[in-house]
Amino acid sequence: MNTNGNVYTIVYTTIIVVVVAAVLALAAQGLKSRQDANIKAETISQMLTAAQFATKDELSKMSNDAVLDIYADKISQAFTVNAKGEKVADLSTERANLELMDALKGQNSAMKKGGDLTLPVYIFDKEGTPVTVVPVYGAGLWGPVWGYVALDKDLKTVVGAYFDHESETPGLGAKITDDPAFRAQFVGKKVDFAGEAPLSIVKGGAQGESQIDAITGATMTSKGLSAAIVTWLKAYIPYLQKVAPEGGMDCCKEGESCEGMDEGCGMDCCKDNNETTN
C-alpha cells in the first residue's frame, strides 16, 4: 500500500480512532464502579453532616468504606414516598447493598410541573432519637444547588443542614458549602409548615424562627437555595403531617382547642381529638 496515498491516510486514521475509542470505553467501564462508589460515599457524607454525626471535613478524610460503614450503622429506615405522603417502596439499608435515591433533578422538575413524585426519606438513629433527613434541589446562579435538611423527632426542629453546588462563585455563592457559619444558622430553626415559606433564606436580616440570613454578595445563589428549600419542604408536608408525633408540628393535644394550631397537624390529632369542639 502506498503510505503516501489518501487511502492509506484514511485507513490509518480510522484504525487509530477505533483503537482509541475502544481503550477509552474500556477505561470508562473499568472506572464506573469506582465513580459510583465515590458518588454514593459523597451523598452519604452530606446526609451524615446534615444530621450532625460528623463534620464534612472529617468524613472527607475517611475512605468510602468507612463512610458507608457509619451510614449502615446509623440508618434505621430509608424509603420513598409519593406526593400524598404515602410510602412507595423501601430502600435497602443492608451494608452490602445500600440504596440511595439521587435523581433529584427529575423530581424537582416533576414538582414544578405537577407530575408524579417519588421522594426519598432517610431516618437515622442518633443515640436513640430519630433524625429524619430529606433532600432539597434547585437552581443557583450558575448551576444546580442541592443539599439535605435534618429534622429532630418532632419533625419541626432543624438538627442541621448541608448544601453543595456545581459552579457557584468562589467566595460568594460557594459559601453555601464552604462557610460553616452559614450552615450553623440552620441548627435549632423551626420549620413553619403552615406558612408560605416553611424555612427560608432572607436578605436584610432573619426574623423569626424560620428564617436564615442570606450570604452577603450572593443574592441569586441565596434566592435559588431558598426556593429549593421551600419547594422541597412543601412537597414533604403530606408525609410529615402523617407521621408527626402528637404535639409535633404545633398539633393540639386531647381536650385542647385547635384554634391557632397549624393546619393539618400531625396524624390529624386535632380532628381526631376534638371532633366535638366545632
Using one digit for the tens of pLDDT, what is the confidence trace for 33-59?
677 889 999 999 999 999 999 999 999
pLDDT tens per residue, range 52-83: 999 999 999 999 999 999 999 999 999 999 99
pLDDT tens per residue, range 148-187: 999 999 999 999 999 999 999 999 999 999 999 999 999 9
Please give the average per-residue pLDDT across 233-255, as a whole number: 74
The pTM is what? Answer: 0.79
Share of the chain above pLDDT 90, in %: 69
Whole-angstrom distance, CA of residue 33 vs CA of residue 83: 32
Average pLDDT, the chain: 86
Task: Say if CB 1 and CB 8 are below 8 A apart.
Answer: yes
The answer to whether residue 103 scores a pLDDT higher than 90 is no
What is the pLDDT, as a whole number, of residue 8? 72
Inter-CA distances, 222 with 111, 149, 201, Å:
20, 16, 6
- Nearest CA to 174 out of 209, 239, 225, 132 is that of 225
Beta-strand relationship, 211-213 and 200-202: parallel
SS3 240: helix
Whole-angstrom distance, CA of residue 55 vs CA of residue 57: 5
What is the pLDDT, as a whole number, of residue 254? 42
What is the pLDDT, as a whole number, of residue 74? 98
Share of the chain above pLDDT 70, in %: 83
Alpha helices in 82-146 (DSSP H): 104-113
What ranges do the domains of the chain cover?
36-243
**Residue 246, Cα to own-chain centre: how many angstroms?**
26
**For residue 216, what pLDDT band results from cuts at 50, 70 and 90?**
very high
The answer to whether residue 27 scores a pLDDT higher than 90 is no
Task: Say if CB 248 and CB 233 are below 8 A apart.
Answer: no
pLDDT tens per residue, range 178-215: 999 999 999 999 999 888 999 999 998 888 899 999 99
What is the pLDDT, as a whole number, of residue 18? 86
Q: Is 46 exposed, middle or buried (0-12, 13-18, 19+ CB in 10 A)?
A: buried
More confident position, 102 or 270: 102
